[in-house]
Structure 1
């Protein structure tokens, strides 16, 4: 059996944020098929903490430093006519390691996780190429531009990144998207959609890890009357920051009129300066990075996901559902998860009055919260276990699992 080359824009250990969780489980599944050589990036020494775990799993690996300032990446991108997203992840060190890995090992397939890494696939590589775009990044930048955020820069990024995404799709044997909605969006932006093999591989969840039966609420949440609302995520990611600020500025004041003890807990690493400035306002607690998000989910009366811009499947939503918490979310945050409104979660528009109107019945009815939470966990167990989600992976890379080979 030939080896696999796996290229990712972050070290896929530990699985502690959305993109790293997906890369982590993909890598583990690929390693059950064949030896895997892993090339990836680390932005800091802290991101190298997973290197020992990576070395134990991979046949070989390279972690290239990603220290290029964004301004430098921007200049390189303008000079080359490329998206900044691509220039920011260009590394001579990693490119040389990829060439060496292909020369020294029998690489039968290259699995590219995230579009930024497609630039490392050699034009003359004859094996299978799988591109996991996850979601349509170009559409995200287009949304930013449409909202007036650095309109010229984001419009340029959206346009050039769309060309890059199409080129990758044409190059690959299969192009993966995280949901049917993202796949349809991607196809709609292609000039020749019939020439690109688009497949859907969703996101999974480790429901044994996110198990409400083994967790008690965070003590601070348990000690205060509440009600407690929790929003989780990587807080320097613009859509999460935007959602948290909307909740703090628009939703919390309305909630506090109805529930004077209401507290919003913003939980997640790297909160921006603007977010941290909100910490301590009436009804607002910005926690930043915590050792374990599960006690915060366990202590939530309701988990909220008021995303105004979202791409793909939101792990934060699946995690809360696995913890059997009632989730109130915007339609954008619900994209890609085929749950039923009013049964597995409750949706609301990004309007504070509308969201309060759906929160009030939940807060008034503990049995309804328990019922929705239990249904949410059952939904995750039935539809989003990683083994089920990644069942098509062997066929995609043209291999079978080791156990299947032994039985043949």
Structure 2
């Protein structure tokens, strides 16, 4: 089939979970379909990555810039769109897509995620949308903890607008792709006449070798946090980790090291961690080596939605994971089997203690986690699920 794929971000380099997901699915599905990719970019520097998409039929880009621009903020205040959608209400993209649809024949349009909807011109071609998260619920969690209290009422208005638009777009689409069962159930409640299918996030199991550690130095364990700081979930998690959890761990394990790997850390967060003897690594040669050099992955996520690629990658690599219920949400894992889960500082520290004290438990967790990854989260299997949705949607329209 001829597929027009419209992405909010250029899915390369593989910095964020969204980029990892889109890139791997496009790469796998391009062997079965002719895919034309239209993508927003934030910076002209991204042009150099276009050669990474040789498997696509064609790649077109539109410069959007960053979301926190005065024109987008003003538009979200006086216009109908919330800030997130206002930043994608792009005249150039809409015009170029209209011309593309006029001059080329497509069986299907795939948007990822829904907030690029304002740039899609009116069309009768069936449209599928992938949601990486339920965005307004994440935004709401962030606003609830926003440090400047007088701003919260204004931000809650934007949250409400975003929630309304998400539900509206779901009802307009032919099919919605969710990444977890929890997200699927939420979407089904608010878009009762739209088909919804779970196509989970995945891992390149050939890239992430299974190398569990047999020995951990109890006097100097290495803890790891990984995540892009463009996402509010990760910023919030690091604040909790550094200010509440890490001080307790340092008292228990004085020689311990906490390594935080992630791009785009804001200056306020950088200043915070500099006061807590934490190692920040914004650019690493190999995330695989970071995973193999660590002893435990800490993922204290308090704002939920979607699924975490870094947890999946750690599970694939044999690195035991300590996370929260929200961090494990959407993953087919059980506390004590593939990961350890805690929702308070005390529970998370107790989980760390248990894993550091028992090599047998660490080995059991690592084996179970890798088995689950191989059975449920390999990209080829996941791409096959999305392919069935594409084929089924196009077939329905042809009847």
Question: What is the TM-score when the length of structure 2 is the normalising length?
Answer: 0.91
Which residue, 389, 392, 395 being the options, matches 1:396? 389
2:139 counterpart residue number: 141
Aligned: 1:305 with 2:299: yes
Separation of aligned partners in 2, 1:70 and 1:110: 29
1:81 counterpart residue number: 80
2:210 counterpart residue number: 212
Separation of aligned partners in 1, 2:29 and 2:209: 26
Separation of aligned partners in 2, 1:67 and 1:16: 17
Give the 5 Å matches for 1:168-187. Answer: 168-187=169-188
Which digits, 9 at most, give the CA deviation of each residue in 1:262-294, with x for residues without a partner? 111111112221232245545411112212111
- Would the aligned equivalents of 1:268 and 1:287 in 2 still touch at CA under 8 Å? yes
- Would the aligned equivalents of 1:301 and 1:325 in 2 still touch at CA under 8 Å? yes
Which digits, 9 at most, give the CA deviation of each residue in 1:341-362, with x for residues without a partner? 101110011x322221121121
TM-fit CA distance, 1:235: 2.2
2:366 counterpart residue number: 373
1:357 counterpart residue number: 350
Structure 1: gaps of 5 or more residues: 217-221, 401-408
User: Relative to structure 1, is the Cα distance of residues 394 and 354 closer, same or farther in structure 2, using a 3 angstrom cutoff?
Assistant: closer
User: Relative to structure 1, is the Cα distance of residues 49 and 374 closer, same or farther in structure 2, using a 3 angstrom cutoff?
Assistant: farther
User: Relative to structure 1, is the Cα distance of residues 301 and 283 closer, same or farther in structure 2, using a 3 angstrom cutoff?
Assistant: farther
1:383 counterpart residue number: 376
- Would the aligned equivalents of 1:231 and 1:304 in 2 still touch at CA under 8 Å? yes
TM-fit CA distance, 1:73: 0.3
| Length, aligned pairs only | 388
TM-fit CA distance, 1:369: 1.4
TM-fit CA distance, 1:332: 0.7
Which digits, 9 at most, give the CA deviation of each residue in 1:154-210, with x for residues without a partner? 32222112222122212211011110111112334x2xx322222211111111111
Which residue, 155, 177, 195 being the options, matches 1:197? 195
For the aligned residues, what is the CA RMSD? 2.3
TM-fit CA distance, 1:44: 1.7
Separation of aligned partners in 2, 1:29 and 1:303: 29
TM-fit CA distance, 1:99: 1.1
2:396 counterpart residue number: none
Aligned: 1:234 with 2:197: no
DSSP-derived class of the 2:264 partner = coil
Structure 2: gaps of 5 or more residues: 394-399
Separation of aligned partners in 2, 1:237 and 1:194: 29
- Would the aligned equivalents of 1:44 and 1:65 in 2 still touch at CA under 8 Å? yes
- Would the aligned equivalents of 1:262 and 1:283 in 2 still touch at CA under 8 Å? no
2:262 counterpart residue number: 268
Give the 5 Å matches for 1:29-44. Answer: 29-44=28-43
Separation of aligned partners in 2, 1:391 and 1:134: 18
- Would the aligned equivalents of 1:325 and 1:370 in 2 still touch at CA under 8 Å? no
